[in-house]
Amino acid sequence: MSLNTDADKAGESGWRETIRIVVHALILAMIVRIFFYQPFNIPSGSMKSTLLVGDYLFVSKLSYGYSRYSFPWGLIPFKGRIFSGEPKRGDVVVFKLPRDNSTDFIKRIIGLPGDEIAVRGGILHINGQAVPKVRKGDFISPEEDRPIPRFEETLPNGVKYYVLDSVQNGQFDNVGPYKVPAGHYFMMGDNRDNSTDSREQSPRYGVGYVPYENLVGRAEIIFFSAAVDDPNAFRLTSPWTWPTDIRWGRIFNLVR
């Protein structure tokens, strides 16, 4: 047998091994994405200052179990959820928009099934009780043309988070009451004057109440963040801009 033939066989074996490793890696990545953690990016400012445009985060599908919307394009059609877990008030959740069951939205769970939700003078009320709202300075960002008043809200279960309130007597500052139906959740964005959420009940333009089945998963951690709405937006092909474009301080922040 010639040395050239041995070299050819060794080369073929090497390529086959490489292909096998790549295929196994792709299968593993798909399993992780479908059943455990799915990456999402933030395209709008409705969750500022908790989440910013250009944040990339992992969403845990284990948190609430699985529905048809846990799988790509809803390819496995079934009703309800399996291995289900109960969402908690204050969770930041990715869900399928009820009016089309395909668009991914991310908001915070404010109302649980059976709750009554209202907003009076910009103050959130849950079951007739005002949610404490304390001024905590301003949100200042290169993407904003002015500082935005920031407040800390504390839900009845003790969950604390920041909300932005940029407009006095805004469109949704006096709305409700809303009675959350069984098996549904009431969602609100943290950027209260710039969020289309459950306060908007229009079947054509709103979010309305979100069925339990539509929940995709709970937002867990930011794994990357870049100032994409800056005039000098982040470019993967321009590594010399990375030190200034990447928001290093947001990477590996937990979503709370």
Catalytic residue, candidates 48, 61, 96, 107? 107
Query: Cα separation of 12 and 130, whole Å?
Result: 70
C-alpha distances (whole Å) from 216 to each of 61, 63, 69, 173, 211 are 6, 9, 6, 28, 11
Query: Cα separation of 197 and 124, whole Å?
Result: 14
Instruction: Report the b/e string of 214-242 with b at 16+ CB within 10 A.
Output: bbbbbbbebebbbbbbeeeebeeeeeebe
Alpha carbon distance, N-terminus to C-terminus of the chain: 66
Query: Cα separation of 241 and 238, whole Å?
Result: 6
Catalytic annotation present for 107: yes
Query: Cα separation of 189 and 202, whole Å?
Result: 17
Looking at the annotation, which residues are catalytic?
A: 46, 107
